[in-house]
Amino acid sequence: MECTRCGACCVAPDIAALDKPLGVRCPHLTADNLCSVYDRRPDVCRAYGADEVCRLIEAPTLEERVSKYLALFELTDEATAIRERGCSSMRKARRG
């Protein structure tokens, strides 16, 4: 499976090294779905590779792909709660 740079794996999962909650776009992800800190991205991002999940979550929009990812891992409710509550660390990261 080749990475199509769909962006979903930089939005859907929670990434502790970045203090990034579920379903929240990584602040380092550019509008073209590229990593703006590629040379210094965390190990967990380095270790991540395209796999079967990428095919299972294929959809026309990033939003749909993220939804499918969260549903696949049964994380939809948790992600919704985080979105509704807001995430102060991400707000701070975006301002930075």
What one-character-per-residue DSSP string does 54-79 give? HHHT--SSHHHHHHHHHHHTT-HHHH
Q: Which stretch binds ligand SF4 (CB under 6 A): 25-33, 74-82, 87-95?
A: 25-33
CB 90 within 8 A of CB 19: yes
Residue 89 interacting with ligand SF4 (CB under 6 A) = no
Residue 7 interacting with ligand SF4 (CB under 6 A) = yes
- Rounded CA-CA distance 28/77 in Å is 25
Sign, Cα dihedral of 40, 27, 61, 14: positive
Q: Which of 22, 24, 28, 70 is in the footprint of ligand SF4 by CB under 6 A?
A: 28
Residue 41 interacting with ligand SF4 (CB under 6 A) = yes
Q: How far is the CB of 77 from ligand SF4 (least distance, A)?
A: 21
Q: Using CB under 6 A as the criterion, which residues of the chain lie in contact with ligand SF4 when the complex forms? A: 3-10, 15, 18, 26, 28-29, 35, 37, 41, 45, 50, 54
